[in-house]
Structures are given as C-alpha cells and as structure tokens.
A and B are shown apart, each in its own frame.
Chain A
C-alpha cells in the first residue's frame, strides 16, 4: 500500500515533473526518466486506437507484478502518471487532487512557462502535503 512515484507529462510527451516517494522502484537517472515518459506517451497514443468498440481514451491502468501505473489524461493532453503498489486503491483520487494542485500552483504561477519543467515551490509543497512519504 504505497505510492512510489508521480510523473507529469506535457502534451508533447516531455516529462515536466518527476518525484519519488516510497522506496520500491529502481532509481533511474533523469535521462532515463525522460526516455520512459516519452515512450509512455507513445504507448498511450497507440492504445487509444486499439479499442475494438470504436473510439476510446488511451490506457488508464497498466499493471505489473509488483506495481501498478495509473494514468490520468486531462482534456488538454497533459498526463498525470502515478506509480503505486498493487494494493493501493486510491490512485484515481490522488491523481484528481494532483491535477487540482497542478491547476492552482503551476498554471496560476506567473513565473512558470507552460509545457516547460515545473520548478514551483508551491506545487512541491502541495504534493508533499497530499502524498507525503507515500506510505500510509
């Protein structure tokens, strides 16, 4: 029951925010995170075309043996990705709150350039108060 990490991917596929919480995933270099985020962006686009019943959004949950990845796609094309343990049930709710925090602390910040990496202290503080250490 842990939250491992949070990624925010902009509409072009670039990683704009990445942060780790609980231990449990391998530590990667920032370059590797950028590559992974770009790959995920591509996969998400492909999965939105694979639906047998017509148009659909892309993948929302990807599960592995030891972790689960929940993706929230917003109306503007920004993706919020939460990597959690399999047992974590609140991923969707947490992502909604992260989206709210993003809309407040990042979008309303005049010192943030849209689609660029997020360097707002306000966002960091709100995520910390929201997720904390990732362990309940």
Chain B
C-alpha cells in the first residue's frame, strides 16, 4: 500500500487510498455536500430544476469576490486553537499550520495561473527563481490578501535565503500571542502557502515565518525562504 504524501495526512490517520472515507453515499455527519450524488453524474446538461454544483461552476466567476475578513478570522482562530490542543510545542504548532497552508497553497497556485494565463495568447510560467519570487510577492499576495507584500530581501549571510516581508499580515490582525509564546508566528500558515507555490513551480524550498516587530509595525512578519541546493545549482547552470 503506498504511503500517503506526508503533507496530506495532517490531522487524521486515514490514508488516501481508503475509498469509504471519500464516498458521498457513506453517511457521515461531518461532510455535508449539497447534492452530493450529482458528483457521479456525467458533465453535460444538468437536469432542469437541479442547481449546478460547485465543480461545474465557471472558475472565473468568483475571480474578484472577497471573503469576509471576520469570518476568516473566526475560522483561523479555531484552526489555531484546534491545532494547539494536539501539539507538543511551538515548533510543532508552526509545522502543522505550515502543512495546512501548504494544502491551501497548491490550490492557490493552480487557480492563480489558470486565471492569469488562460485568457492570454502565449501562456508562460516562471522557471527562474527571481521572477517566481517577484510573482509570489505581488500576484500570490494579491490573490490571497488583496494587496502586494511589502518587501523582498536577500540575505547577505547565506546565498540560499530570501525574505518576503509583510508589515501587517491580515491573518494575524486580531491575534495577540501571549508573552510566553512570543516566538510563535501564526503566519506559518502563509509560509505554507508560499512553500506550496514554490514546490508547484519546481523550486523546492523550506519556508518559515518569523515575527520581527518594529516600532512602527508591531506585527511585522518575515517569511524566510531557504532554497534547496538543487535550485541553486539549476540557477547557476541557467545563468
């Protein structure tokens, strides 16, 4: 039996290959899909009187729609509380938030690229690291948070480290970390999104979030990207 990808078995121990877990006909009170049975019908003209389900909807329809920040804040607060009960320390909590962000990030990349390139005559993809970093800094941040990030920096000590800086991360706006946990950065979720986008573009890296407050911006956060050696080697060859 194949081992599930470590990123995809965050909170439940069940493996992806167990079909009953995902079957819409199994009665499970946790997943309430409206019109669950229509997943199995062929795509095509829907029966009159049956609302098209979410999978058939045009992807560009919700391109510019926004989610209520308050609704997300409550959801994220519960995510953090739920995770906190099941971990043994700050590092573990950050790692779990990172994994959850990873799952969101794979979808962000797909949707973003589809929406940006599907209408253009010559779709292209970033294959070099610096353009990819620039596109994360503007497009991913714009797609997820509605505004570009604040700065990009390159580390002077290490060749393989780059940083994206956000002076006021929206997901952390209402979070006040207690004094005894002040190394925790809930932006590990955002770091997971960035890591998934980089992985999707073929630039594996380890991404972490660090709380770096300043006088002017007390919730300033730095997303640290540590590139894999293979990426550096490839950049050298392509130079």
Report A's interface with B, CB cutoff 8 A.
Answer: 104-105, 107-112, 119-123
A106 to chain B minimum Cβ distance, whole angstroms, is: 9
Chain B residues with Cβ below 8 Å from A104 are: 70, 73, 173-174
Contact B174 A108 (CB under 8 A): yes
Q: Which of B70, B78, B175 contacts A111 (CB 8 A)?
A: B175
Expressed in whole angstroms, the minimum distance between the Cβ of A56 and any Cβ of chain B is 31
Kindly count the residue-residue contacts between A and B in the assembled complex, taking CB atoms under 8 Å apart: 41
A109 to B79 CA separation, bound complex (whole angstroms): 11
Looking at the complex, which one of B76, B79, B80, B176 makes contact with A121 (CB distance below 8 Å)? Answer: B176
Residue positions of B touching A, CB distance < 8 A: 70, 73-74, 76-81, 84, 173-178, 181, 186
| Contacting residues, chain A, for B80 (C-beta < 8 A) | 110-111
Contact: B78 with A110, CB < 8 Å?
Answer: yes
Which of A104, A120, A122, A123 has its CB near the most chain B CB atoms (within 10 A)?
Answer: A122
A121 to B181, CA, bound (A): 13
9 residue pairs from A and B, CB less than 8 Å apart: A104-B73, A105-B174, A107-B74, A109-B174, A109-B176, A110-B84, A111-B80, A122-B174, A123-B176
Contact across chains for B175 and A108 when beta carbons are under 8 A apart: yes
> Whose C-beta in chain A lies nearest to the C-beta of B175?
A109
Extra contacts, 12 of them, besides A110-B175, A122-B174 (Cβ < 8 A), are A104-B70, A104-B173, A104-B174, A107-B74, A109-B175, A109-B176, A110-B77, A110-B186, A111-B175, A120-B176, A121-B176, A122-B176
